[in-house]
Chain A
Amino acid sequence: MDLLAILKIAVRALTRNKMRSLLTMLGIVIGVGAVIATVGLGQGAQQQVQNQIASMGTDMLYISAGSVNKGGIRLGGGATKTLIDDDMKAIVQQVPTVAEAAPVSGSSVQVVADNQNWSTRITGTEPQYFDIRNWAFAQGGNFTQDDVNRASNVVVLGATVQQNLFGTSDPTGQTVRIGNLPFQVVGVLQAKGQSGIGQDQDDGVFVPITTLQKKITGQDWLQSIMVSATSQDASYAAQGQITALLRDRHRIRPGQDDDFSVRNLADVAQLADESSKVMTLLLASIAGVSLIVGGIGIMNIMLVSVTERTREIGIRIAIGATESDVLRQFLSESLVLSSAGGVMGILFGVASSITITKVLGWSILISPMAVGAAVVFSMAVGIFFGFYPARKAAMLDPIEALRFE
């Protein structure tokens, strides 16, 4: 018998018991729908994490002053005064995989504008800092290298600070007070949102490094250096080269601990990416369990169907159906059940994904691969769980089957 004829017979047999077939399919529908929706959710979350990391800059390296060992007492990170401006200059000049570098030093300050005030973090740096961090301006602009050279009282506000001090009005050109000093606002940064670890990146103000060191903290060492590599791949090479250079400059003997640490944000990105992948896989496998349960439902109904149609099977064998004819007939019925359930499941999964996006505002990414895998898996479930009932039908003794009432 040709495939089309077999499929036609299968569809007819199934439409005779519409309610039963629909209920049997429902197991697969829910299974496939759940797989598609959860994988969509997981991939949406993954995409979000990746976007966040991309906004941080994956070609970025973060060098922070490390701990120091003073007579057996180890002080915490950032306690050393060995990371200095000259280190940064050396990195830019001597490490070929480094594109740009900016010094970072900071403290906590109270910022006052008219009758509003706000406690925030002040960061002293150089103009290229915003370029390295891939950070755009919403209003006004950047301070200049000239401002750095002259230690001018100019400030760039983060979006959160701007909102708290000025509300919706444009603060550029206005004056804010930091400590006892007046600063002119030159620009406001675009809102960047939370960082990967939930910190508000927009809650901060930025001034030239020289202004901070000379007028606010009085320290001339750096807390950290932001470095951008020439590419994401180059960032791994840069990490090693910077480490070697700084060890040399700080005269650290082999075997001694670094007094700084170099972190590669590509590593962080990879870690976050991997954890969301694991999460997606976990969700999908839970949903996959419901597909298997749906398959058991198919097997159950096919067994009932074989018993009910024992006489029909007997007739078919008597008039010349071979074992494989009968096997194929019942196998195609379960296959039609499961793949029809699979197709309906896709619609159900996509529809529920859209609903979740609209109602809860979660981002969902429906990948064609997840859809394809769900269909293939549901068909496999149909064949796997349909095989035993079909085999039972094919093995029937025709004499017994014809006597069956």
Chain B
Amino acid sequence: MATLAQVELKNEVIEQPASRTPVIAVEDVHKFYNLGETKVHALRGVNLTIEPGEFVAIMGSSGSGKSTFMNMLGCLDKPSSGKYILEGTDVSSLDKKQLAAIRNRKLGFVFQGFNLLSRTTALENVELPTLYAQMEKEKRVARAKEVLELVGLGQRLDHFPSQLSGGQQQRVAIARALVNKPAILLADEPTGNLDSRTSVEIMQIFQDLNDSGLTIVLVTHEPDIAQFAKRMVVFRDGKIRHDDPVRNRPRAAEVLKNMPTVDED
């Protein structure tokens, strides 16, 4: 199990594989929930392949199964049937500890509600995943500073989340997602709590990261936001209904220039 050995690597940040294997390969995935008497069929046979360097927006109304799919991609949930292969590893065969290692090193999460630890500084929030990755103290701090600078928060290392604006908090969350150099960034409605200008700013960061080679999966129900991705996947009733490349993709940096500035900070 060479792929497992890869997951177990300690203290070493896993580099993105240069091979042609897809980052994500989902084959005929079903998901059932038992809610007392009723049985909910949340995913009804989903097939999806995501290659390295892609920027996929997943859209769909609530109840379409996109959140369930996202939780599954994030290894927080397991499919009832079907296969989920992440960088060549069949995730459904892993135990809880191995899944935790996958979440820690291969996946980066960005949530709608930011989900930072309160009364914990930006730097410490970003450091957290490296702590679980058993990284050495000096390396941890250096790496956390590096990613915070990358998202433009190099001056606010010691700020608490309550001292930061929504956009800044989300950038801290992005930095936290990136700190262990994941193979894929999963963003669940990252702009849901932000105003339109800040939303585009976040999308600019995503586009820049994608340009540098990072694979991104973005869940959103705002078509404006989905526009910034390269590929749009639409869920309805637990199935993929549309899967198309985005035409005339706008650059967030260009859009920002034409947007009225909103006073913040």
Q: Which residue numbers of A lie inside 8 Å of B, CB to CB?
A: 1, 5, 16, 311-312, 314-325, 398-399, 402
Contact = CB atoms under 8 A, between A and B. Distances in A.
A320 B115 contact: no
B96 A323 contact: yes
Given A321-B132, A325-B100, A398-B76, 12 more contacts: A1-B134, A318-B74, A318-B76, A318-B103, A318-B109, A320-B129, A320-B132, A320-B133, A322-B101, A322-B132, A325-B132, A402-B111
Contacts, number: 57
B105 interface: yes
A90 B111 CA distance: 101
Contacts of B134: 1
Given A322-B97, A398-B76, A399-B76, A315 B132 contact: no
A319 B96 contact: no
B92 to A, nearest CB: 17
Interface residues of B, number: 25
Given A1-B134, A399-B76, A320 B101 contact: yes
Contacts of A322: 96-97, 100-101, 132
B97 A315 contact: no
Contacts of A320: 100-101, 103-105, 129, 132-133, 180
Nearest to B118: A312
Main SS of chain A's interface residues? helix
A319 B103 contact: yes
A319 B97 contact: no
A1 B128 CA distance: 10
Given A319-B109, A320-B100, A320-B105, A5 B74 contact: no
11 contacts: A5-B131, A311-B115, A316-B132, A317-B76, A317-B103, A318-B103, A320-B180, A322-B100, A322-B101, A323-B96, A399-B76
A317 B180 CA distance: 15
Interface in B68-99: 71, 74, 76-77, 96-97
Contact of A1 (B96, B116, B131, B176): B131
Contacts of A318: 74, 76, 103, 109, 115
Nearest to A323: B96
B119 interface: yes
A319 B129 contact: yes
Going nearest first, the 6 A-B pairs with the smallest beta carbon separation are A320-B104, A322-B100, A320-B132, A319-B129, A320-B103, A398-B76
Contacts of B9: none
A399 B96 contact: no
B48 interface: no
B117 interface: yes
Interface string B221-241: 000000000000000000000
A320 B179 CA distance: 12
B105 A319 contact: no
Interface string B172-186: 000010001000000
B116 to A, nearest CB: 8
A322 B104 CA distance: 9
Contact of B117 (A1, A312, A317, A402): A312
A315 B109 CA distance: 9
Contact of A402 (B105, B115, B128, B132): B115
Most buried by A among B74, B76, B77, B129: B76
A5 B124 CA distance: 12
A319 B111 contact: no
Nearest to A401: B76
Contacts of B176: 319
B77 A399 contact: yes
